[in-house]
């Protein structure tokens, strides 16, 4: 299975993450759109065409888990990979229990991200 040319949407309020992570994802062969907030993602056309979301756990306004719940409410089943600097294992475990593919602790390795994306896109 080739996983290239799928649209990955990144939602993170940290500008440095929005600058660096899309480059890595493009090197892996993905198309990427980056958003500074959950609200801006929800207003975009990427909402219905993204094959995977990479979401920061803690953001001002709507958090990553709140966006996850909003997508469920709208019956949008896009796979989610959370990324976080939060060291709390219980919080990370809860996101996976609620349906996320993975919750990666920043800084994560390229391999960990690639593995999570492979799992997320495995149903394609």
**Cβ count within 10 A of residue 7:** 14
Instruction: Determine the pLDDT at residue 1.
Output: 41
Instruction: Give the pLDDT of residue 88.
Output: 81
Report the alpha-carbon distance of residue 87 to residue 21 in Å, rounded. Answer: 20
Instruction: Enumerate residue ranges in the chain where pLDDT < 50.
Output: 1-2, 123-124
The strand ranges marked E within the chain are 7-11, 31-35, 52-56, 80-84, 102-105
pLDDT for res 4: 54
pTM for the full predicted model: 0.92
Q: Which domains does the chain have, with CATH numbers?
A: 7-120 (3.40.50.2300)
- What pLDDT shows up at residue 115? 95
% of the chain exceeding 90 in pLDDT: 81
Count CA atoms closer than 13 A to 123's CA, side-chain side. Answer: 7
């Amino acid at each position: 299975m080739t996983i290239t040319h799928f649209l990955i949407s990144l939602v993170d309020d940290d500008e440095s993450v929005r600058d660096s992570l899309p480059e890595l994802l493009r090197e892996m062969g993905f198309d990427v759109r980056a958003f500074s907030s959950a609200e801006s993602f929800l207003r975009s056309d990427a909402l219905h065409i993204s094959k995977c979301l990479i979401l920061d756990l803690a953001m001002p306004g709507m958090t990553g888990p709140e966006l996850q719940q909003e997508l469920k409410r709208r019956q949008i089943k896009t796979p989610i990979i959370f990324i976080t600097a939060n060291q709390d294992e219980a919080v990370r475990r809860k996101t996976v229990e609620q349906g996320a593919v993975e919750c990666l602790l920043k800084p994560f390795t390229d391999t960990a991200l690639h593995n999570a994306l492979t799992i997320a896109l495995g149903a394609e």
